[in-house]
Amino acid sequence: MRRALAVLATVMGCFVAGHASNLPQSQPVATLALAQLLPPGSGAVVTESVAFVSDTSIAIGLCQRWPGTDCILSLIRRDGDVLRSYALASHFRAGMSIHVSRGGEILTTPVGMFPAVLFSADLSEARELPSFHLASRSGNTAVEQKGGRWKIYQVLPKLEVVREGTSEVEAISDSLVVLREGDIISTETLQGKLLGSFSVRPRSKCASIVGLASDDRLYWEDCKGSRMVDLNGKEKLQLHRPKGWGYQPFWSADGKRLLFDHFDRKISILRSTAEDLIAITTLGMGAGDEQDNHEEVEVLDTVSGACCFDWKRTFPEGSEASANDATVSPSGEFVAIAAGGTLSIYRVTEACGANK
């Protein structure tokens, strides 16, 4: 799956309007060693998910790398250049994603059929919910999919079913839902009013990702690249995301800034040639498991296409598990990256309203 997503990347990251970005590598405004959040002697730490509660508060889910079942959810507050943990909960599983509501409650959605969990703002209370696989940016609306049927729930202020159906839910907000039925993408209100639709290529021929930027714009990614489109699929703006594969991108609250966290493998020409020769002589068996060693985080402006933030790192192959370890704040002004054992907070460039 990861390699299939990598095929979608056909352009250089932060390569806007035909010119490479000159953004310097950003310096963090605050950092915290992740090992401080786990008991002494816990071993290697794996970031499962990270999300901003506000521009000065971050939620992060961590697990010990082996066996990956001893996990915590921690809330961290930033005071200037200092990061401090102020709440902790153990009701967290590997693979969970974090969604923060406007009231500060935290919804964690699982992988597989485990229950979702809704935490109070201070993590003192935790309530199990249906097995949501998708949630809105606010965490107030979520989707449960079982077999060929789905249910859309309002999570807050109380849990209740809003709508049910049989097609596939691709994206959700607190007011809209994007559905796929066969090769048709349609956007509707939560009550079922059709707002727009367009046809797409079959998944067997072209993998795709769709996201809700706002009430009248979608993010659409397929074999032809990444772009902003209207609800009828008409292109509004080309976006040039980083090469490699990644999870679902993250959005600022207004949908104007979009963060990509992508992984790939970068090796020298000499090593690449040697591995190609081994693949030929072993009839395609290759030189062994090829693992990622490079990560790139970018923030793009979805109105202008400008690159607002560009961060890269390399690491030894197999030394870290690739994860959802970067996110953008609700205002779009800050980025949090939990990588290499450290949580770092960066300020996004203010000069991001026009192409460079």
Distance CA(7)–CA(96), nearest Å, equals 26
pLDDT at 20: 40
Distance CA(92)–CA(105), nearest Å, equals 15
List, for residues 35-51, the tens digit of each pLDDT value: 888 777 666 678 889 99
- Pair 187, 178: CB distance under 8 Å: yes
Taking the alpha carbons at both ends of the chain, their separation in whole angstroms is 34
pLDDT, tens digit only, all 356 positions of the chain: 333 333 233 234 464 433 344 556 678 999 999 988 877 766 667 888 999 999 999 999 998 766 556 889 999 999 999 999 999 998 898 888 999 887 889 999 988 788 999 999 999 999 999 999 899 988 899 999 888 899 999 998 889 999 999 989 999 999 999 999 999 999 999 999 999 999 999 999 999 999 999 999 999 999 989 999 999 999 999 998 888 888 888 999 999 999 999 988 876 566 555 555 655 565 555 555 678 788 999 999 999 999 999 999 988 877 666 677 899 999 999 999 998 889 999 999 876 754 43
Q: Please, what are the domains in the chain?
A: 2-347 (2.130.10.10)
Residue type present at position 34: L
Q: Is the dihedral of CA 215, 216, 219, 221 positive or negative?
A: positive
CB atoms within 10 A of CB 93: 19
SS3 category, 281: helix
Distance of CA 190 to the CA centre of its chain: 23
